[in-house]
Amino acid sequence: MEELNILNLLIILASAWLGGSAAKKLGYPAILGELIIGIVLGPAMLGLLETSEMINVLAEVGIILLMVYIGMEINFRDLGKASWPGLLAAIGGFIVPFVLGYYTIIYFGGTQMAAIFVAIAVAVTSLATKSRILVDLKLLNTRIAYVLMAGALISDTLALVIFAGIISYVDAGSIDTLGLAWVAGKAILFFVFTALAGIYLLPLLGRFLMESKINSRTLHFTLILIIVLGFSELAEVAGLHSILGAFMAGLFIRDGVFNRQISKDINNIFHDISIGFLAPIFFVSAGFNVTLEVFQTDLAMLIVVTLMAMVGKIFGTALFYLPSGYGWREGIAVGTGMNGRGAVEIIIAGIGLQMGIINSEIFSILVFMAIFTTLTVPLLLTWTTKWLKSRNELVHQESRNGYIILGANPLGLYMAKKLQDKNEVILIDANREMVAEAKKQGFNSMYGNILKEETFEDANAIEKGTFIGLTGNSEINYLAAQLADDAFYIPNKIVLVSPSETGTDVNMLDKIKATSLFANKTELEPWALKISNGDFKEHTLTIKEEISTRQWVKEHKGDKDSILPFFIVNTEGVIRPFHYNDTITEGEKVIYLE
Amino acid sequence: MEELNILNLLIILASAWLGGSAAKKLGYPAILGELIIGIVLGPAMLGLLETSEMINVLAEVGIILLMVYIGMEINFRDLGKASWPGLLAAIGGFIVPFVLGYYTIIYFGGTQMAAIFVAIAVAVTSLATKSRILVDLKLLNTRIAYVLMAGALISDTLALVIFAGIISYVDAGSIDTLGLAWVAGKAILFFVFTALAGIYLLPLLGRFLMESKINSRTLHFTLILIIVLGFSELAEVAGLHSILGAFMAGLFIRDGVFNRQISKDINNIFHDISIGFLAPIFFVSAGFNVTLEVFQTDLAMLIVVTLMAMVGKIFGTALFYLPSGYGWREGIAVGTGMNGRGAVEIIIAGIGLQMGIINSEIFSILVFMAIFTTLTVPLLLTWTTKWLKSRNELVHQESRNGYIILGANPLGLYMAKKLQDKNEVILIDANREMVAEAKKQGFNSMYGNILKEETFEDANAIEKGTFIGLTGNSEINYLAAQLADDAFYIPNKIVLVSPSETGTDVNMLDKIKATSLFANKTELEPWALKISNGDFKEHTLTIKEEISTRQWVKEHKGDKDSILPFFIVNTEGVIRPFHYNDTITEGEKVIYLE
């Protein structure tokens, strides 16, 4: 046992955290800050930090766990739903920069292998763009966001497949036709075997564990690590790289394979160990391998590679996006959103360096390319979406669509009636008569106990975007929203909270990321009665000045309970339930009952 | 970057899992199986596995994380409550084997330093005995278990403090008085500084994060890792070992410092990474350093060390336990329970080997000593507790005592009346009048919304052993039990479930480790009415043959709802609520209403 160099690890982790936090503060993904801090503190500039055996081991374990996590985050269903435009964007945004990147390196006299590596690196799209930037720019519910995410997932998958081909080829060395067939055969066998194991064996294991009532999270974690290492070793045996095994394992360890609660916990653990601990070590130490001399010796190549990466990605995406019929402007916007490179690119570049396929100059160029392109994303995406907005071409689309409304009471029906014009709505109630009555009135409704997972499954909850708890029992509303959050990841949960002093408290809603319906504690019964008797008036009010729903309630409701704000309609006519934590912008309309 | 040896890691992790699982199946702690599998598959026997740089790095990071987790598990309040007998057992069980171990090594011609190392190793008590064996032998609620846990915690803390002294001394080399003072000063400064930082700075950070509404689990995890590494580096600077820093950090990262939910999640992550991933790698690779030759070359020393360890621990504990007044037999039982050595011993032995203070023979002897002593625990403890039981001297005691009863309705009062003879009982209700009425009748009761953490805090929930949810609203009962489990770790949660077809379902109770009151769905109102009118008869039935509560309900209740099994009274007159998942043994009495 050698002495661990704690100080080195401490400084690297602390500076990774500082760099990452600073980047996030500025609206960039953490990886950007981590790479830059590695370059600044590492041998390239200040020389305060350097790599060590320990750092390498931790970084490499970090990559494996990160690849598992990236795999876990890719949902086949999402890929399937990506449909035409997402696929077009992904392919265009991949092929065009790939070709440009390849010929750039050949032009500068690089080897064919190095050219292919750079081509992959240039073609990749960062998954990190996914969350933060879209949230910051309030783009989450737009068609662009939807296409972007699908595009990033597809291009990453594509990149890894091509990478697999290259790696097995390199590994084989000089090669004849028979040898090439053997190499290709092994790689294909690997994918076929892991896919079959993932599709058939893993669910079998999961079912066995569930049936044996084995629900230790730690045991699941250990077993999954063993599976990950097993897949990684298989990848090595097949002449591929271990990260491909980890990625394949991650792809198949997901919803429905293991107990839902445990799956979520394990997903969190992989997230925290990789993104909160080991992966930053890798990204900082990737910065250690960068040399600043490229700015003197290879400035031309650096500029051309970066330009090709950006031009190829943005215009390639826009070009292939044309057949979607959504217009070239949206194509450009999607291209700018996909322009960032991130984890997968740096990992692939690192492997290329390690295997001697690319030299340290090209590695440095790829790191700088990642930094520069990532820097452009918020800027360019802000411009392009403003541009679309100003032309009224920013199309809204939910990635998870449709409503589950709990409670087929008059309020539930009233809610469903307005929403079901543009959304799939399903009403659930535990009262058979109310369900029958709702059905008679033409509503899509079903009977069930909402606190059972089966009921959510029957309602196809995993594809729904919003859960609305509208029974008079706040606790049932809350528990149902909790289940919606825990097991079905429904992004929006809106629950009715009764004005009782005890029981469910508005502060509890934060825990499950839910908000209160009508932005206020509300008694169900009086309103249900009014609505079923037709004893109410519906008003529509156009908002002149941006206001929070909370403030709106304060100003309009006053002390009396005579007003119930029900919906907000935006300028495009899209309707949403009135709830806490929402902002009504200028020109939107509030529909309220009196 | 070097290529990771995935295969090696895979085999080590898989065999650690196999060894650990096998040991657990047999009722032993996992570490036993991990050590044995390391010896069997490692150089000592089959030679299939060997250590590598990667394995060493991962093992050492594993130890650091494990020490954090061990620190997290030690609760100052528990130590404080350990009181007289626990302290006596801990000290006796530490000092006597320490002295015996020390002189054994001196006798066999070892160095003074080696002797002290062995003495510490022999004196340590395994924390791993804590959970499984006590559960298997159904000892969790006995005074023995209580003393055992406190004893293990105290002896581990003691061992680490002495270890700190030794390490700083060794590190200092040849030494004069001034040097010794400097060494001791640095070590003391380290403990003072980390304790102050832990007591004052960490809660400040926690409050800052809470007030800034920063509730990212990953961010907390990263920050805590940085703190851990910082403390570890401080320990190194003070001439101590990094594990002491990690341990100190773990001690202070606990309840109340950070957001409760996040603390729990972080605790889980440390548990899973260390116990589910990295620590087993350390224990297996500890087996690699063992040589079987000691059975030939040093058999006498092996036997004497093991004997001294066992005799010293068991009789040392029993001897010092005498002043407690609980009798020498209970002392022997406690001693047999504390006889196992585990993680801390192997870690300390490993460091001794690494620093060259003990040689590979003594290291091997210590590993075998750990294995042999651990093997004895279930056997000896089974005997001694049977012996106590047969003499009716097995005293029950809850480590967390007292009841929180939600619902000051007639059933709640009836429940409280019987329980409050021997337990602290607090009634909580959201109805002020009912609380006032209960108070008038002499019950300890308070007003509050049970779904708020403050209410639980006011009821001093962290020290309570059982939560009973007895309102007519099953969902409130359930949510309150969930909070009791999540934030206050109340071990027993018993809730009334209404016979409604919808809403809270008995299957949901598993998730929060709760059971249903009366072992059956029960309507509150009719019984509340009967009790308040005095319209019922109380029957007592002595059970002839062991039966589960569920079966009892089936046999006695039949279709009619005319019977309500309320309590079980054991042969010592201890009363407990009748609930699902319980077994009524021969001679116990069921109190039921009709």
Q: Quick one: pLDDT at residue A591?
A: 86
- Number of CB atoms found within 10 A of residue A582's CB: 16
Which of B69, B369, B368, B76 is CA-nearest to residue B243? B69
B462 in helix, strand or coil? helix
Judged by average pLDDT, the poorest of A453-467, B356-370, B432-446 is: A453-467
B583-584 vs B547-548, strand pairing mode: antiparallel
Q: Is the pLDDT of residue B544 over 90?
A: no
B247 touches chain A (CB under 8 A): no
For residues B2-10, average pLDDT: 77
Helix axis angle, A112-123 to A343-354, nearest 10°? 170
Structure tokens at B589: 């009495």
Over residues A498-549, the pLDDT tens digits come to 887 677 777 788 888 888 888 888 888 888 888 888 888 888 888 888 888 8
Contact B56 A1 (CB under 8 A): yes
Residue A129 — very low, low, confident or very high, per pLDDT cuts 50/70/90? very low
Which of B395, B503, B499, B512 is CA-nearest to residue B143? B395
Residues A330 and A143: beta-carbon distance below 8 Å: yes
Please report residues of A whose CB lies closer than 8 A to that of B358.
Answer: none
ipTM, interface predicted TM-score of the complex: 0.80
The number of C-beta contacts closer than 8 angstroms across A and B is 175
| Cα distance between residue B207 and residue B214, in whole Å | 10
Tell me the shortest Cα–Cα distance from B185 to chain A, in angstroms. 22
Q: Is the pLDDT of residue B305 over 90?
A: yes
Residue carrying structure tokens 């609930």: B579
A451 in helix, strand or coil? coil
Burial of A87 (0-12, 13-18, 19+ CB in 10 A): middle
Q: Distances from the Cα of B223 to the Cαs of A7, A10, A13, B35, in angstroms?
A: 16, 11, 9, 33
Chain A interface test: which of B456, B502, B507 (most A C-beta within 10 Å):
B502
| Cα distance between residue B165 and residue B534, in whole Å | 68
For residues B187-209, average pLDDT: 90
Amino acid letter, A355: M
Helix axis angle, A299-321 to A360-390, nearest 10°? 40
Give the closest of B58, B223, B276 to A222, CB-based.
B276
Find residues 10-29 of chain B whose CB sits inside 8 Å of chain A.
10, 13-14, 17
Which of B53, B118, B61 is CA-nearest to residue B243? B61
Q: Quick one: pLDDT at residue A138?
A: 74
Domains of chain B: 6-44+53-390 (1.20.1530.20), 403-593 (3.40.50.720)
Structure tokens at B445: 């009761």
Q: Quick one: pLDDT at residue B2?
A: 43
Residue carrying structure tokens 């049932």: A476
Closest chain A CA to residue B213: A510
Residues B266 and B37: beta-carbon distance below 8 Å: no
Residue carrying structure tokens 């019987």: B418
Find residues 445-504 of chain A whose CB sits inside 8 Å of chain B.
449-452, 473, 475-476, 478-479, 501-504
B575 in helix, strand or coil? strand
Structure tokens at A188: 């294909």
Over residues B484-543, the pLDDT tens digits come to 887 787 888 998 888 876 777 777 888 888 888 888 888 888 888 888 888 888 888 888
Residue bearing the bigger pLDDT, A78 or A415? A415
Structure tokens at B563: 């019977």
Please report residues of B whose CB lies closer than 8 A to that of A501.
Answer: 430, 449
Residue bearing the bigger pLDDT, B177 or B232? B232
Find residues 174-233 of chain B whose CB sits inside 8 Å of chain A.
217-219, 221-223, 225-226, 229-230, 232-233
| Cα distance between residue B504 and residue A479, in whole Å | 9
Q: Quick one: pLDDT at residue B130?
A: 53
For residues B32-55, average pLDDT: 90
Q: A12-26, A172-186, A412-426: which has the highest mean pLDDT?
A: A12-26
Q: Quick one: pLDDT at residue A127?
A: 59
Residues B90 and B314: beta-carbon distance below 8 Å: no
Tell me the shortest Cα–Cα distance from A383 to chain B, in angstroms. 30
Contact A7 B236 (CB under 8 A): yes
| Cα distance between residue A112 and residue B41, in whole Å | 45
Please report residues of A whose CB lies closer than 8 A to that of B1.
Answer: 56, 59-60, 350, 353-354
Residue A4 — very low, low, confident or very high, per pLDDT cuts 50/70/90? low
Angle B115-B119-B123 (CA atoms, 0-180°, nearest 5)?
175
Please report residues of A whose CB lies closer than 8 A to that of B225.
Answer: 13, 276-277
Please report residues of A whose CB lies closer than 8 A to that of B10.
Answer: 226, 229-230, 232-233
A575-577 vs A564-569, strand pairing mode: antiparallel
Q: How many residues does chain A have?
A: 594
Strands (E) across B503-560 are located at 514-516, 538-542, 547-548
Structure tokens at A547: 């206001």
Structure tokens at A178: 């028979």
Backbone angles phi, psi at B357, to 5 degrees: -80, -40
Angle A330-A332-A335 (CA atoms, 0-180°, nearest 5)?
110
Q: Is the pLDDT of residue B231 over 90?
A: yes
Write out B53-83 in H/E/C secondary structure: HHHHHHHHHHHHHHHHHHHHHCCHHHHHHCH
Contact A6 B222 (CB under 8 A): no
Please report residues of B whose CB lies closer than 8 A to that of A276.
Answer: 218-219, 221-222, 225
Q: Quick one: pLDDT at residue A567?
A: 87
pLDDT, mean over chain B: 85
Q: Quick one: pLDDT at residue A399?
A: 59
Contact B501 A430 (CB under 8 A): yes
Q: Is the pLDDT of residue A241 over 90?
A: no
Closest chain A CA to residue B511: A261
Residues A356 and A324: beta-carbon distance below 8 Å: no
Q: Quick one: pLDDT at residue B15?
A: 94
Q: Quick one: pLDDT at residue B369?
A: 94
Residue carrying structure tokens 């959504």: A326
Residues A341 and A32: beta-carbon distance below 8 Å: no
Contacts of B393 (CB under 8 A, 6+ apart): B327, B329, B330
- Number of CB atoms found within 10 A of residue B67's CB: 30
Closest chain B CA to residue A429: B502
Q: Quick one: pLDDT at residue B113?
A: 87
Over residues A134-150, the pLDDT tens digits come to 767 777 677 887 788 77
Chain A interface test: which of B57, B60, B263, B513 (most A C-beta within 10 Å):
B57
Q: Is the pLDDT of residue B1 over 50?
A: no
Closest chain A CA to residue B455: A502
Find residues 373-392 of chain A whose CB sits inside 8 Å of chain B.
none
Structure tokens at B86: 């626990």
| Percent of chain B predicted with pLDDT > 90 | 25
Which of B161, B170, B159, B223 is CA-nearest to residue B195? B161
Judged by average pLDDT, the poorest of A44-48, A279-283, B253-257 is: B253-257
Q: State the distance between the two ends of chain A, measured CA to CA, in whole angstroms.
A: 76
Q: Quick one: pLDDT at residue A255?
A: 67
Q: Quick one: pLDDT at residue A565?
A: 86
| Cα distance between residue A404 and residue A425, in whole Å | 6
| Cα distance between residue A385 and residue A380, in whole Å | 8
Residues A92 and A167: beta-carbon distance below 8 Å: no
DSSP run (H or E) holding B293: none
Structure tokens at A368: 């700088």
Q: Is the pLDDT of residue B278 over 90?
A: yes
Give the closest of A10, A58, A475 to B473, CB-based.
A475
Q: Quick one: pLDDT at residue A104?
A: 94
Q: Quick one: pLDDT at residue B129?
A: 47
Contact B268 A265 (CB under 8 A): yes
| Cα distance between residue A28 and residue A36, in whole Å | 12
Residues A225 and A246: beta-carbon distance below 8 Å: no
Specify the pTM: 0.80
Chain A interface test: which of B4, B353, B450 (most A C-beta within 10 Å):
B4
**DSSP code at position A502:** S
pLDDT, mean over chain A: 85
B425-429 vs B445-447, strand pairing mode: parallel
| Cα distance between residue B32 and residue B10, in whole Å | 20
Give the closest of A53, A451, A501 to B504, CB-based.
A451
Written as one string, the DSSP assignment of B113-181 is HHHHHHHHHHH---SGGGTHHHHHTT-TTBHHHHHHHHHHHHHHHHHHHHHHHHHHHHHH-S--HHHHH
Helix axis angle, B360-390 to B299-321, nearest 10°? 40
B500 in helix, strand or coil? coil
Contact B505 A236 (CB under 8 A): no
Over residues A309-357, the pLDDT tens digits come to 999 999 999 999 998 888 889 999 989 988 888 888 898 999 899 888 8
Please report residues of A whose CB lies closer than 8 A to that of B14.
Answer: 226, 229
Closest chain A CA to residue B59: A1
For residues B65-74, average pLDDT: 86
Amino acid letter, A489: Y
Please report residues of B whose CB lies closer than 8 A to that of A280.
Answer: 222
Find residues 500-529 of chain B whose CB sits inside 8 Å of chain A.
501-505, 507-508, 511
Residues B249 and B227: beta-carbon distance below 8 Å: yes
Q: How far is CA A561 from the centre of its chain?
A: 41
For residues A91-113, average pLDDT: 92
